[in-house]
């Protein structure tokens, strides 16, 4: 294991003090900000996430805020997903592509008002793209990164813990909807969402000063639910088929390759960057797609580079994420697989750093 | 020390194999890519950099390539520095700002041809800004990130080592100029530049496949010069006053605050983003500027967040980078200081995590 060299450039968060007190053991860097990756062990954190409730510092999901008369027009220019029926109080998962249809980010758009949006981003400086487009089109909109840091509460006991802090109103929040609820005299956006399949919420903490008070309140109230500090869990997110921008897709990939074609309404009369390229892709279909892949044999190590997927001497894909799953007692993985081998049950070989492993392509993830 | 959790998202480089074999002990993440921070110790690496020659994997200085009829027009739109007299074969340090004059990056522009440029970037996804502007203005230019990974050769023996590999032609390359020189049958851009004050070169390695052959050739030829793998050195770069984007400046800062006003020719008849805002700044002058600061007393730890600079009860600035310098036997630091206290010799206090320290503002860095 190598050390991470800390500097101001790898930004701390409003919750870093709590994360450190909870004994964080490893970090990654996400949007130039520290993101914890392990507290006890990845396996222990996994078990606990599925059984209890965790508080996650996901401040690195930075917000791009759009404000002004052209905010909604700009938001629609940014994504091929049709936003016309989206109402205030909703969150949408929105692929964002460049003019060739290559994925630039896969954020969640939060509609705060008709003239005000947040884009809760994955790992790329989407702010620069949005500002560049707004400037080039001379739109009447302010684009910046506000002092908003999401804190996720995830796990089967998330509703109970959140109700202790925000009241029973949280229980009525529907999936990918939000309410504005009060903490310490401030109204905070609380959405039913999060980067796990165990259920829970994301609190958009507006104002760094209330970060630690909220963290401490959740930890205190959570004692009776066995709350722990946690973080997005590699095993759980692969089992659940949650993609990670930069790991499982880059600007080389179209939404259709990533299984996100259903979020591309390019046939509708919406104007968006990349529409022409995506219309072409939609017509012809992708020749490779992200698939679940089961890698047989002993537990594999972490996937820090693409692992080639072979059919005999022919490369038919790459594995981009992999981990050993205790619950399924096998190695769960995902990667881009060519159409010749993407059908359920295709037998392939994966070249891992520890040798060649037989593997099976699956139609569905482990859910 | 916390571990860094590796994944494909933190990109490896064409030289990672060599870096690992050389015993890298720590990494940071820069442009979503691994950047080594220490091999033996920061102090040993520092001594060696000043005495011998090092090979640095600075692949993380990614290139934004502009190609096409509008490439030069776009390049000039991006920076307030006047590029009209720049010739093919030159490199320019170019502040890049947004519409409000806030720094987005401080890269080096490399003029390859009248219609082809590389922008060798600091730590922000400048590619997205450049693509957004090009798209919004409907410019006839292709913008992408090519397979180019800089390898730096730095230190007093850099000329001798480089001459062994590329011939004596390297000795004639002037500062911030480049030549195209051959290695393994490929023409590579070799510039006299680099992120140290010890002199040396940056080789723009085009084609990942020749990364390790070049690394190995340099290590083999370098034996008689005591070559070692190295990396940008925190102590040496603070002594030399080399700014680090994300550490010492962000989009909150104007070029003038960063001491880069001399690179802003906003009075010239150039069209660039942010010109109006910078004209205003140039007229009024900045109220705070980056200064060298000597922090007295025992060696300070790493500066992973801003340290307030106080004059009595009043905050007059922040320290953004700091390290103990063996050569100057003091703590060298830099940060933004308000004009009331930026004069040479101003006595201030710095609030470090280990307590309050007396400090002195300096006019010049340690060079």
Q: Which of B132, B166, B193 is the last residue of a domain?
A: B132
Chain segment B13-30, per-residue pLDDT in tens: 999 999 999 999 999 999
Is the model's pLDDT at A335 over the cut of 90? yes
Q: Above pLDDT 70, what percent of chain B? A: 100
Write down the pLDDT at residue B145.
98
Mark whether A218 and A350 lie in a shared domain: no
pLDDT band, very low/low/confident/very high, at B270 (cuts 50, 70, 90)? confident
Confidence category of residue A271, pLDDT binned at 50, 70, 90: confident
Is residue A251 in a domain? Answer: no
Contact A4 B4 (CB under 8 A): yes
Please state, rounded to an integer, the average pLDDT across all residues of chain B.
Answer: 97
> A81: which residues sit within 8 A by CB, 6+ positions away?
A92, A93, A94, A95, A263, A264, A265
Assess whether B47 and B117 both reside in one domain: no
- B250 is a domain residue: no
Q: Touching check for A17 and chain B: CB below 8 Å?
A: no
Within a domain: A356: yes
Quickly count helices (H) and strands (E) in chain B: 8, 22
Helices (H), B137-187: 158-166
Query: Domain end: B132, B155, B178, which one?
Result: B132
Mean of the pLDDT values across residues B100-118? Answer: 98
Q: Does A142 touch chain B (CB under 8 A)?
A: no
Is B267 domain-assigned? no
Q: For position A63, what pLDDT does the model report? A: 98
CB atoms within 10 A of CB B347: 11
Average pLDDT of chain A, as a whole number: 97
Asked which of A144, A179, A203 is the last residue of a domain, the reply is A144
Query: A1 pLDDT band (50/70/90 cuts)?
Result: confident
From A99, which residue of chain B is nearest by alpha-carbon distance?
A: B135
φ, ψ dihedrals at A208, nearest 5°: -60, -30
Give CA angle at A18 (A160, A237), nearest 5°: 60
**Chain B residue with Cα closest to A33:** B29
Same domain, B220 and B154: yes
A353 token code pair: 């750093």
Grouping H, G, I as helix, E, B as strand and the rest as coil, residue B8 is: coil
Mark whether B103 and B26 lie in a shared domain: no
Measured CA distances, B299 to A359, B151, B235, B329, B349 (Å) = 54, 32, 12, 9, 15
Same domain, B194 and B120: no
Contact between chains at B8 and A133 (C-beta distance less than 8 A): no
Distance between alpha carbon A29 and the CA centroid of its chain, in Å? 14
Check pLDDT > 80 for residue A16: yes
- Angstrom distance (rounded) from CA A161 to CA A149: 20
Test A128 with B104 for CB contact under 8 angstroms: yes
B39 belongs to a structural domain: yes
Average pLDDT over residues A269-275: 87
Select the residue of B24, B129, B137 nearest A128 (Cβ to Cβ). Answer: B129
**CATH number of B39's domain:** 3.30.1360.120
Whether B254 maps to a domain, the answer reads no
Check whether B123 has a pLDDT greater than 90: yes
B123 vs chain A: nearest CA distance in angstroms?
Answer: 9
pLDDT band at B140 (very low <50, low <70, confident <90, very high): very high
Mean pLDDT for A96-108 is 97
Residue A5: inside a domain: no
Q: Which residue of B has its CA nearest to A244?
A: B9
Indicate the range of A80-89, A149-158, A277-286 predicted with least confidence: A277-286
Confidence of residue A68 (pLDDT cuts 50, 70, 90): very high
Average pLDDT over residues A330-346: 98
Same domain membership, residue A55 and residue A153:
yes
- Positive/negative CA dihedral, A41, A47, A52, A54: positive
Distance from CA of A102 to the nearest CA of B (A): 12
pLDDT of residue B126: 98
Q: Is the pLDDT of residue A269 over 80?
A: no
| Residue of chain B minimizing CA distance to A233 | B5
> Looking at the structure, do residues A362 and A304 belong to the same domain, yes or no?
yes
What whole-number distance in Å separates Cα of residue A170 and Cα of residue A82?
28
Which tokens is A293 given? 């892949």
The H-or-E segment that residue B72 falls in is helix B71-78
Q: What is the pLDDT of residues B209-252, one digit of tens each?
A: 999 999 999 999 999 999 999 999 999 999 999 999 999 999 99
In a domain, B194, yes or no: yes
Place of tokens 């002037």: B174
**Count: domains in chain B:** 3
Length of chain B equals: 367
Using a CB–CB cutoff of 8 Å, tell me whether A216 touches chain B. no
Nearest to A288 by CA among A234, A326, A334, A229: A334
Express each pLDDT in B309-356 by its tens digit: 999 999 999 999 999 999 999 999 999 999 999 999 999 999 999 999
pLDDT above 90: residue A97: yes
% residues pLDDT > 70 (chain A) = 100
Report the CATH number that the domain containing residue B317 is assigned in CATH: 2.40.30.110
Q: Same domain for A40 and A151? A: yes
User: CATH number of the domain that A88 lies in?
Assistant: 3.30.70.1400
Q: Which of A3, A5, A28, A35 to mutate to test the interface with B (most CBs of B within 10 A)?
A: A5
Could you tell me if A244 lies within 8 Å of chain B, comparing CB atoms?
yes
Q: What percent of chain B has pLDDT over 90?
A: 97
What is the reported pLDDT for B367? 85
Question: Residue B244's closest chain A neighbor by CA?
Answer: A9
Give the range of the structural domain holding residue B95, as residue numbers without chain letter.
63-132
Q: What is the per-residue pLDDT for B251?
A: 97
Do B169 and B118 sit in the same domain of this protein? Answer: no
Question: Is B52 in the same domain as B155?
Answer: yes
Task: For residue B37, list chain A residues with Cβ-Cβ distance below 8 A.
Answer: 5
Do B107 and B204 fall within a single domain? no
* Residue B5 at interface with chain A, using a CB cutoff of 8 Å: yes
Same domain, B156 and B113: no
Are B3 and A25 within 8 A, CB to CB? yes
Q: Would the pLDDT of A270 be above 90?
A: no
């Amino acid at each position: 294991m190598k050390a991470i060299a800390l500097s101001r450039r790898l930004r701390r968060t409003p919750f870093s003090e709590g994360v450190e007190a909870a004994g964080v053991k490893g970090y990654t860097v996400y949007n130039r900000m520290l993101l914890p990756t392990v507290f006890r062990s990845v396996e222990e954190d996994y078990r606990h996430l599925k059984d209890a409730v965790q508080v996650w510092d996901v401040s690195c999901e930075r917000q791009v805020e759009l404000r002004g008369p052209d905010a909604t027009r700009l938001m629609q220019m940014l994504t091929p997903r049709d936003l016309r029926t989206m109402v205030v109080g909703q969150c949408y998962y929105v692929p964002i592509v460049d003019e060739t249809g290559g994925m630039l980010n896969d954020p969640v758009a939060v509609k705060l008002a008709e003239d005000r949006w947040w884009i809760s981003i994955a790992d790329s400086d989407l702010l620069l793209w949005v500002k560049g487009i707004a400037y080039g089109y001379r739109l009447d909109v302010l684009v910046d990164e506000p002092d908003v840091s999401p804190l996720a509460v995830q796990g089967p006991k998330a509703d109970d813990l959140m109700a202790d802090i925000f009241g029973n109103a949280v229980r009525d929040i529907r999936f990918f909807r939000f309410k504005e609820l009060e903490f310490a005299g401030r109204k905070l956006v609380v959405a039913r969402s999060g980067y796990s399949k165990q259920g829970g919420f994301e609190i958009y903490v507006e104002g760094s000063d209330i970060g630690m008070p909220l963290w401490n309140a959740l930890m205190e109230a959570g004692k009776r639910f066995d709350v722990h500090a946690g973080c997005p869990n590699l095993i759980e997110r692969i089992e659940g088929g949650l993609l990670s921008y930069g790991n499982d897709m880059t600007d080389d990939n179209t939404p259709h390759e990533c299984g996100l074609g259903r979020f591309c309404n390019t046939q509708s009369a919406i104007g968006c960057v990349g529409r022409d390229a995506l219309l072409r892709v939609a017509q012809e279909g992708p020749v490779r797609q992200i698939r679940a892949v089961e890698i047989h044999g002993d537990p594999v190590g972490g996937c820090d580079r693409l692992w080639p997927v072979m059919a005999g001497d022919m490369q038919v894909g790459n594995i981009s994420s992999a981990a050993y799953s205790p619950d399924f007692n096998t190695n769960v993985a995902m990667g881009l697989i060519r159409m010749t081998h993407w059908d359920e049950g295709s037998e392939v070989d994966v070249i891992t750093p520890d040798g060649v492993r037989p593997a099976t392509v699956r139609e569905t993830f482990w859910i």
